[in-house]
Structure 1
Amino acid sequence: MINDKSHWEIPSSIDVEGFLTKYPPEFKYKIDHFYFIVEYLAKGMEHGDLDQNLGFINTSSVILQKRIKNYKQYLDHMLEHGFIRTDMEYIPGYKSKGYLISGRNKEDMTINFIPIQDAVSKRNRIKDNAKTIAKNKKTEKNYPYLTKWFNEKLEIDSQKAKLKLNELFPVETGGIRGPKIGTPSSHTKKVKAIYSISKLENLNFYYSVDDNVGRFHSNLTNIKKELRNYITYDSKKLVNVDIKNSQPFFSTLLFNTAFYEEKSENFNMYKMPSLSKVIGEESEYISLIIMLGKTLESTMNTSFSEYLDMVNSADFYNTIHTKLYPEQPFDRPKVKLMILIYFFSKNRSKSQFKKDFKNALPEVHKLFALIKRKNHKALSHILQRIESEIIIERVTKLISIEKPELPIFTIHDSVVTTQGNENYVSDVIKDEIKLATGLDVKLGLEYWNPGD
């Protein structure tokens, strides 16, 4: 285990020294500055949404210049010799340039811990570590019933996990290939995954709660799904109890007028004040709530019944696909992705799925569009906030009171526990959702380490 934090964490597929030997810069440089940029981009791969941006990591010129005054010279040198690439996409106030490390996918990739030589870089690393510790402590103070389980008993079989990575991302023969159109490269995906493995292997835990939607982010929420099978707690296998089609399920609350009434006994919009940051000023937020309530009062609730039936069916994604595309073969991952994009997209989006959804379910689309009128993130944030309120603030808190010795973790819309306790956790989730919303939920079970 690496205890000394004065190291760069660099994927073994990225050879900075070899690059500088082959292409020595003409300007005076510090190798630690190259390592900083590489680590900054590589860790951006770990936490970023690779599929959304083809693996390119949007950079902050403020962060780079704070650490390296002439950072552009370093970037230009790496770009000139193909060590990194850029998407050349800069939109003032919206998106900074994205960069991608052009490494080769190695079969036995790992993380190399390279000592930091530069004194200033060492001091900056100490400051960064202090900020991480402070962030963790803040989360520990507010959510001790979740953070206490991140300890030496939470383990990953790194050897098996790395073998699985080799299977998922086999080494390609021939030259270094860039990403296929519409997808990030296998090297980029492997870098993201190897960081997750390394952190668990070295007990380098992190956790925080999103101020906007209340989601609990941790090592487990960020690790690739296929690698969860190699995670255990106290040598016990784990099981994930998840809410089926969570966001479509919670979206049905939006069709109930009580959801927009401040005095409603059930969970309602007034219990989510943090969303005013997303929608705008608090007055605008309250106006939206009132407008939505009036819209529903003037609309026959039966017009939403078809959508409600879809959500409550045995297979929501298959049912809605059949409604929209009766002649096309069903592709579950594709349909799930289209639904999520629809919830997150702007009203002015011209996607074909949005048009088809609008034609098939006009009143449902009208309500969703009204919620996203001021800010397209509002709908997804409302749904995620409901999800967080249920899972983080109610379900896991109650479990920690009733069974304080039962290990529990969360992955957004699900609760992870040791196998043998899934029925108890399922009952708590069902009861708390019923109590808060009046809805009956369908749950799924995902057993980790099923073949061992």
Structure 2
Amino acid sequence: MNQTIRTFSIDELNPIITVNLKSENVKNNKQSEENKLKSQYTVLIQQSLLKDLEGYLIEHNKTYKELKLDYLVYYASLLNSLPSQNRSDDESDFYNVSLDSKLLKKIYSGYSKCMDFLKIKGCIKLVTNYSVDKKKCKQYKLADKYVGDQLIEYTITNRNLLKNLNNKIESEKMLYCIRKRPHLIKYFDEWLKIDCEKAEAIISGFLKTNYDKYVSGKHILKEFVNQDWKYSVKHCTDDRLHSSLTRLNKQLRNTVTYKNENLCAVDIKTSQPFFLVVLLIAILKKDRELFEKIGATKVLSDEMIDRLLLFNYDRNNIIEFINIVLNGDFYINFSQSLDIEYNTENKPFRIVVNYENKKRKIINYSKPQRNETYETDREFAKSVIMEILFCSPNHNFIGTKAFKKSFPCVLNIMNFIKKECVELHTLLTNIESHCLLDVVALEFAKKYPDIPIWSIHDALVTTESNINLLKDEVEKGLREITTIKTLENNNIIVKEIW
């Protein structure tokens, strides 16, 4: 299996932070809720690993200075919890995890003794040492003998450890999303439940077939059972709300209910191309007010907007792109422009860069390429479009060549934004978050305060009985913000029945 390496930020390394939002308290007193933070929590650890640690400690503590089981379990559990809180489409991302020693030390000054003990006893492996040049922390992974093992809950009871962990709960960053988007966390309450038996059956099926899904599934199940809701807003990147629902595996969605009613979503099909269209319309109209209305001014300066408005472009080429996105399935349309190869199972595949760390664009030079397989031509095309949006303006591959052939002017604008303004994907996700979460969802919550609403990236979620109402309001709201008048006719906004 190809293995890539992940580096976690300070927010991601913080211990599990839980905010217990009870329905009436959130609705009536947001400020008091900010102070109601749970101080107890459990971690998940492999059953055989815990058993081994208990045995190793008995022998160790007979001769050497005593080590505490809670500390060892906590540090080992990070190799499960951190990847689970930051799910990736690449399952190999689960196996190697970068940990910052400064952050580990904040939890316990003697952290190095714990990490050394875990390494010496063969519980974890050091994959890569700290590198100043590459700005990479030490990278660890669980010993192979524990990968594939059943996870069990372990409750932290050590007072000193709990005290250090609880200091993190006071963090203003963890309360940022409560103040920024209270309407989207209001209904993370006691009525939001999961069918434990049904969910456990699905998760158990992953144990031997897809271990990373098993690990993430066990963590999310624990969150729902304990109602230890987690949410955060990465305002410096995509500005989306990341929550217990966004990390819920799609196969588990039909196990979640609110007041015994199933949930459904209103989704924006081809979301990133759609919000690129929204931006292009503002450029075509040379409409500064529209830039502000869609939230682009949160990311683009006045000078950047001035340069975009002066950009020399082929108006007809942009309009052609807009029409294809708005009047059909853009990914299916674009797939017809690609030379797609198929494997022996007749599934489309392509050769992609094999990254050690995709966010930092660090290539695994021991094996710089890998095959990526897709279920459909549409998924193939979507992956290519995402690479075009995320890649450097100088990156030239089969996707950019096909896109340039069909939409040269659109690609020029995209590359100009990447070179002279900001990361294009950052701009588009910020426009999406502003339009969908900060305007449409907020207006819906004000208009219908007793109807539950949540978000999952580019989708809004509610109960099944309210899905048609939510769809109508999303269409109406986006129509007013974007000035696109035909949203209700072109299947851009669709219902997703869980």
Structure 1 residue 262: deviation in Å? 6.4
Equivalent position of 1:447 in the other structure = 497
CA distance in 2, matches of 1:313, 1:262: 23
Equivalent position of 1:391 in the other structure = 436
Equivalent position of 1:281 in the other structure = none
SS across alignment from 2:80: helix
For residues 399-438 of structure 1, the aligned pairs below 5 Å read 399-438=444-483
* Greater Cα shift, 18-27 or 309-318: 18-27
**Residue 94 and residue 384 in structure 1: after superposition, are their counterparts in 2 closer, same or farther (change >3 A)?**
farther
CA distance in 1, matches of 2:231, 2:477: 24
CA distance in 1, matches of 2:293, 2:467: 31
Q: Tell whether 2:163 aligns with 1:123.
A: yes
Question: 1:154·1:232 contact (CA, 8 Å) conserved in 2?
Answer: yes
Equivalent position of 1:333 in the other structure = 379
For residues 94-173 of structure 1, the aligned pairs below 5 Å read 94-102=135-143, 103-106=146-149, 109-117=150-158, 119-131=159-171, 137-167=175-205, 169-171=206-208
Q: What is the letter of the counterpart of residue 69 of structure 2?
A: I
Q: What CA deviation, in whole Å up to 9, does each residue of 1:143-194 have, x standing for no partner?
A: 3322221110000112211111123x2426xxxxxxxxxxxxx333321221
**Residue 374 and residue 194 in structure 1: after superposition, are their counterparts in 2 closer, same or farther (change >3 A)?**
farther
Structure 1 residue 73: deviation in Å? 4.6
Equivalent position of 1:237 in the other structure = 262
If the length of structure 1 is used for normalisation, what is the TM-score? 0.82
Structure 1 residue 198: deviation in Å? 0.6
Out of 344, 347, 352, which is 2:390 matched to? Answer: 344
**Residue 326 and residue 120 in structure 1: after superposition, are their counterparts in 2 closer, same or farther (change >3 A)?**
closer
Q: Tell whether 2:311 aligns with 1:287.
A: no
Q: Tell whether 2:99 aligns with 1:62.
A: no
Q: What is the letter of the counterpart of residue 459 of structure 2?
A: S
Structure 1 regions of 5+ residues with no counterpart? 173-185, 277-284
**Residue 75 and residue 12 in structure 1: after superposition, are their counterparts in 2 closer, same or farther (change >3 A)?**
closer
Question: 2:49·2:123 contact (CA, 8 Å) conserved in 1?
Answer: no
Q: What is the letter of the counterpart of residue 68 of structure 2?
A: K
* Greater Cα shift, 149-158 or 205-214: 205-214
Question: 2:97·2:139 contact (CA, 8 Å) conserved in 1?
Answer: yes
Number of aligned residue pairs: give it: 416
Q: Identity of counterpart residues, as a percentage? A: 24
Structure 1 residue 248: deviation in Å? 0.7
CA distance in 2, matches of 1:142, 1:386: 16
CA distance in 2, matches of 1:86, 1:357: 42
CA distance in 1, matches of 2:177, 2:41: 25
Q: What is the letter of the counterpart of residue 451 of structure 2?
A: L
CA distance in 1, matches of 2:493, 2:186: 26
Structure 1 residue 135: deviation in Å? 5.2
Out of 405, 410, 413, which is 1:364 matched to? Answer: 410
Structure 1 residue 267: deviation in Å? 4.1
Structure 2 regions of 5+ residues with no counterpart? 1-19, 21-36, 343-347, 349-375
CA distance in 2, matches of 1:311, 1:70: 56
**Residue 360 and residue 227 in structure 1: after superposition, are their counterparts in 2 closer, same or farther (change >3 A)?**
same
CA distance in 1, matches of 2:480, 2:81: 41
SS across alignment from 1:99: strand
**Residue 431 and residue 67 in structure 1: after superposition, are their counterparts in 2 closer, same or farther (change >3 A)?**
same
If the length of structure 2 is used for normalisation, what is the TM-score? 0.75
RMSD: 3.1
Out of 187, 192, 195, which is 2:219 matched to? Answer: 195
Equivalent position of 1:221 in the other structure = 246
Structure 1 residue 357: deviation in Å? 2.9
Q: What CA deviation, in whole Å up to 9, does each residue of 1:112-157 have, x standing for no partner?
A: 132333x4212112223343xx656543344332222111000011
Equivalent position of 1:88 in the other structure = 128
Q: What is the letter of the counterpart of residue 103 of structure 2?
A: I
Question: 2:203·2:213 contact (CA, 8 Å) conserved in 1?
Answer: no
SS across alignment from 1:406: coil
